[in-house]
Amino acid sequence: MKKLIAFAAICISIIAAAYFSSCNNQDAGTEAKNRKEDSLRKVVERGDYLANHVAACIHCHSKRDFSKYSGPVIPGTEGGGGDVFDNTILDAIPGTLYGKNITPDNETGIGSWTDDEILRAITHGIRKNGDTLFPIMPYVNFNKMAKDDLLSIVAYLRTLKPINNKVKDRQLMIPISMAYPAPALQNAVDNNVRPPESDMVKYGEYLSTVADCATCHTPFVKGQLDFARAYAGGNTFNLGECRVNSANITSDSATGLGTWTEERFMNKFTVYRDEKAYNFNPGKQNTVMPLSDYAGMTDYDLKAIYAYMRTVKAVSNQVEKFPK
Ligand code: HEC
Ligand code: HEC
């Protein structure tokens, strides 16, 4: 946010400078240049919003502070990688994975990758060297994103401070082809479109896909997501000092979000716009839901997600969020 404000301040001064210079000397060249900077700024801002508040890229690809609720990103580590995802946290992960360094560092990050190579990793799960990424990196979902949203994320990643951090290689207990057989068969993304914002349900579905609400909230059965019970919750995440089960967020009235008003739903996210919310019961209760990220989503986008979640088939599944 601070970065955005600083950026906005720079932009305002650029615009002001452009205004005055165009008044003073009618410099059409400068005006054209500033128009270009303005459109670039909008692309990077969109990428920043998606990567930090919807798609949770930066959340998974930075170091996290789990002494605070939901483990917000430790400032200064944005995109540098190193966060661990393993089977002590979630049974369904067959080994140890590390959030990779996605800063523009040439040696240890993706500084030397072309836009197409980055896009291929994000949407097809194929690394620059041809390896298949483990699908905890939600490329199956990102494959459904509109091309301009994807490109805005790539543009934003290029603006991250390069961090020199060599992230360890994963150790998988099964061949990657068992985890995800056919990344190359994923669709091309060129014709993907973002639904109009006025279609709240469709637009909310798009955002939920990008935010990957389904993976954590859909029950894993023998390592596979049981989509017949989509969003019914109950996956256990072990955070060392405490455990947490993903909630039932289907429209079931007794065990899901059926009785939740829009206001209550919004509040689940918006309370984390305040620093104080992160000190809630530190160490005793915690969550893996990237609340510090989602809290920065616009009210409109959160409302759209709510509208979509109302249409999700009700599944009865009583979940104890914080098991003893
Ligand atoms: C749930 C956590 C998670 C989210 C969300 C996530 N990633 Fe990843 N990402 C990973 C993990 C873990 C890997 C490494 C997987 C492996 O080693 O098989 C990875 C790998 C990558 C790679 C390959 C880098 C390399 O050196 O191999 C890129 C690029 C990448 N992610 C970009 C992104 C972008 C951009 C987003 C958001 C649009 C994103 N990721 C969202 C966890 C995540
Ligand atoms: C990394 C895993 C993860 C992701 C991704 C995730 N959640 Fe959650 N969610 C959880 C867990 C665990 C809980 C239970 C603890 C808590 O309330 O934070 C939870 C709780 C909730 C609750 C509170 C329900 C209740 O009964 O109190 C709502 C609402 C919710 N999630 C909605 C969403 C939506 C919408 C998305 C996508 C925008 C999402 N979640 C993404 C793990 C996740």
- Which atom of ligand 2 is least distant from the CA of 54? 38
Exposure on the CB side of residue 297, measured as CA atoms within 13 A: 28
Proximal ligand: closest to the CA of 115: 1
Token pair, residue 119, equals: 């896009």
> Which residue's entry shows tokens 């150790």?
171
Confirm or reject: Cβ of 289 under 6 Å from ligand 2.
yes
Ligand 1 cavity residues, CB under 6 Å: 51, 55-57, 60-61, 85, 97, 99-100, 102, 110, 118, 121-122, 127, 133-134, 136-138, 142, 153, 170
Residue 212 neighbours by CB under 8 Å, 6+ apart: 55, 56, 138, 141
For residues 187-210, one letter each, b for 16 or more C-beta atoms within 10 angstroms of the residue's C-beta and e for the rest, the string is: eebeebebbeeeebebbbbbbbbb
What's the Cα-to-Cα distance from 263 to each of 113, 163, 285, 307, 313, rounded to whole Å? Answer: 43, 40, 24, 12, 21
Please report the pLDDT score of residue 23 as a whole number.
Answer: 42
Please report the pLDDT score of residue 24 as a whole number.
Answer: 47
d(CA 210, CA 249): 17
Task: Determine the distance from the C-alpha atom of residue 96 to the mean position of all C-alpha atoms in its chain, rounded to a whole number.
Answer: 20
Instruction: State the amino acid at position 138 in one-letter form.
Output: P
Count of CB atoms situated within 10 Å of the CB of 295: 20
Ligand 1 center to 109 CA (angstroms)? 12
For the chain, which ranges sit under pLDDT 50? 1-24
Confirm or reject: Cβ of 249 under 6 Å from ligand 2.
yes
d(CA 129, CA 253): 48
**Closest to 153 in 3D by CA, of 59, 49, 35:** 49
If one residue of 97, 141, 201, 216 were mutated to test the ligand 2 pocket, choosing by the most ligand atoms within 8 A of its CB, it would be: 216
End-to-end CA, the chain: 36
Cβ–Cβ under 8 Å, residues 155 and 43: yes
Cβ–Cβ under 8 Å, residues 316 and 239: no
**Closest to 134 in 3D by CA, of 100, 187, 88, 180:** 180
Cβ–Cβ under 8 Å, residues 319 and 255: yes
Interior angle at CA 79, CA 74 and CA 83, nearest 5: 65
The predicted-structure confidence for 66-76, as pLDDT tens digits, reads as follows 999 999 999 99
Ligand 2 center to 317 CA (angstroms)? 15
Cβ–Cβ under 8 Å, residues 227 and 218: yes
Ligand 1 center to 61 CA (angstroms)? 7
Interior angle at CA 69, CA 82 and CA 322, nearest 5: 110
Please report the pLDDT score of residue 20 as a whole number.
Answer: 39
d(CA 83, CA 96): 10
Please report the pLDDT score of residue 8 as a whole number.
Answer: 46
Cβ–Cβ under 8 Å, residues 104 and 162: yes
Please report the pLDDT score of residue 37 as a whole number.
Answer: 83
Residue 79 neighbours by CB under 8 Å, 6+ apart: 57, 58, 61, 62, 101, 102, 103, 109, 157, 160, 163
**Closest to 251 in 3D by CA, of 208, 311, 206:** 311
d(CA 157, CA 197): 25
Please report the pLDDT score of residue 303 as a whole number.
Answer: 98
